Amino acid sequence: MSEQKRSFSHVIRERYCKGCSVCVAFCPKQVLVLKNGKVFAERPEQCIGCRLCEMRCPDYAIEIVETGLDKPVEKDAACVDYSVPPEANHA
């Protein structure tokens, strides 16, 4: 393990979140809280990037992105063009 601390940012799709607080309860570092019924990353600097919130979220509302690495901009649900049906992209 390197000494350098890895940092993570939290992509939260508020439109998807139903506020079940499964991610909040099982975060090993208590990074997340519920704010107005939606998940919010209160202590993002504490995040260790285990991605348990991302995997357990029943609504695909939270995603962990490692910052500081050269990665493409994540596609957010808010940026998707809903006028195009997904079947149109099939071969």
Partner 1 sequence: MSESLDYFRQNRLPHIWCPGCGHGTVTGALTRTLAKLGIDKNNVVVVSGIGCSSRASGYLDFDTIHTAHGRAIAFATGIKLSRPDMKVIVMTGDGDCTAIGGNHFIHAARRNIDITTIVMNNSNYGMTSGQYSPMTPTGMLGTTAPYGNVERPFDLGKLAIACGATYVGRSTSYHVQLLGELLEKALLNKGFSVVEAVVGCPTYFGRKNKLGGAVDMFTWQKDHAVNVKAAAVMAPEKLEGKFLIGELYNQAAPEFTAQYDALIESVRRKFDNFQGGVRGCAQNSD
Residues that bind partner 1 (CB under 8 A): 15-16, 18-22, 25-26, 52, 54-61, 63, 74-75, 77, 80, 82, 85-87, 90-91
Integer Cα distance of 75 and 91 in angstroms? 21
Nearer to partner 1, 3 or 81 (CB): 81
CB of 43 to partner 1, least distance (A): 19
Look at residue 44 and give its three-state secondary structure.
Answer: helix
Is residue 40 within 8 Å of 32, Cβ to Cβ? yes
What are the two backbone dihedrals, phi and then psi, of residue 33, each rounded to the nearest 5 degrees?
Answer: -135, 165
CB of 22 to partner 1, least distance (A): 6
Nearer to partner 1, 19 or 44 (CB): 19
